[in-house]
């Protein structure tokens, strides 16, 4: 039996501009994403038979609705590889329906692990395969930070040269990605779209372009999002925003000591708070 495991990181959307509606039902986006130091763990083994078995330490779908299951199925189908039994155990630490990309990160990790155990694809082929699994999955196939465009399936690597620290608050509710996008009525009004062309970002660049076009939509439904942002700013964040379609909200800090002070204060107000660094 072949057994492999890996940690798989969360992400934050440092900006999310929505620029158009596509014919396939998705939206055109421009988003800068950075991986952060919060991880799920994937344990994968290849066994006898042909069954895909997924389990997790949280109550999440483990059937064909799970991106990890979809990734495994696509891996075998694309090149008509001889199907093997696969057992996947997901140790969840990244919150769900939170805008932190846990499901997509897990799926990307599974594709990489399968290709390690059953070498079948080049790096380029595996990246193209990830587009069939989910919109954010391609981002997690590459190292470091990136600008994602299209529906999220076109990724350009970029560098964030200054260390950044984040306090992330997960409220006691989740937000459905499909619901958030369905509520969107207007496209981006940002005057900073030119910043999507940068290859290198400083901490000041990040603060300047921090914006999430889904925030106003979600705030109408969940005003707690705005309240959390305000509390992060009150506690020293240089800027604050919702990540992805929510529900997590993050504050940006330049110094780890300042982030630690805010972390202590925010944990007195909210149940689920993370102190993270960009990776």
Catalytic residue set: 11, 136
What are the tokens at 149?
Answer: 């465009």
158-277 CATH:
3.30.70.890
Q: What is the pLDDT of residues 123-163, one digit of tens each?
A: 999 999 999 999 999 999 999 999 999 999 999 999 999 99
- pLDDT value, residue 22: 86
Q: What is the DSSP string of 93-134?
A: -SPSSSSS-HHHHHHHHHHHHHHHHS----HHHHHHHHTTT-
Listed as ranges, residues in the chain with pLDDT below 50 are none
Among residues 29, 25, 27, the alpha carbon closest in space to that of 212 is found at: 29
Instruction: Give the total residue count for the chain.
Output: 279
- pLDDT value, residue 1: 56
188-201 per-residue burial string, b: 16 or more CB within 10 A, e: under 16? bebeeeebbeeeeb
Classify 31 as helix, strand or coil.
strand
CATH 3.30.230.10 boundaries in the chain: 2-157
Which percentage of the chain shows pLDDT scores above 70?
A: 100
What are the tokens at 19?
Answer: 């620029």
CATH 3.30.70.890 boundaries in the chain: 158-277
- pLDDT value, residue 193: 87
Among residues 218, 158, 225, 131, the alpha carbon closest in space to that of 183 is found at: 218
Determine the topology of domain 2-157 in CATH: Ribosomal Protein S5; domain 2 (3.30.230)
């Amino acid at each position: 039996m072949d057994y492999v495991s890996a940690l798989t990181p969360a992400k934050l959307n440092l900006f999310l501009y929505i620029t158009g509606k596509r014919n396939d039902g998705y939206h055109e986006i421009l988003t800068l994403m950075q991986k952060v130091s919060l991880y799920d763990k994937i344990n994968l083994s290849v066994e006898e038979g042909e069954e895909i078995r997924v389990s997790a330490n949280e109550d999440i779908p483990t059937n064909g609705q799970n991106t990890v299951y979809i990734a495994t199925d696509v891996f075998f189908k694309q090149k008509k590889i001889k199907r093997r039994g696969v057992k996947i155990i997901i140790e969840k630490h990244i919150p769900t329906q939170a805008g932190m990309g846990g499901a997509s990160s897990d799926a990307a990790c599974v594709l990489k692990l399968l290709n390690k155990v059953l070498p079948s694809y080049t790096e380029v082929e595996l990246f193209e395969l990830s587009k069939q699994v989910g919109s954010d999955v391609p981002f997690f196939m590459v190292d470091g930070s990136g600008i994602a465009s299209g529906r999220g399936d076109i990724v350009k690597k970029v560098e964030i040269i200054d260390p950044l620290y984040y306090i992330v608050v997960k409220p006691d509710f989740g937000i459905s990605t499909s619901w958030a996008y369905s509520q969107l009525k207007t496209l981006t009004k940002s005057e900073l779209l030119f910043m999507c062309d940068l290859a290198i970002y400083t901490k000041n660049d990040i603060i300047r372009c921090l914006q999430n076009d889904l925030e106003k939509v979600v705030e109408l439904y969940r005003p707690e999002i705005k309240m959390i942002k305000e509390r992060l700013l009150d506690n020293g964040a240089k800027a604050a925003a919702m990540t992805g379609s929510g529900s997590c909200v993050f504050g940006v800090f330049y110094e780890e000591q300042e982030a630690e002070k805010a972390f202590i204060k925010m944990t007195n107000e909210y149940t689920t708070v993370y102190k993270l660094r960009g990776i």
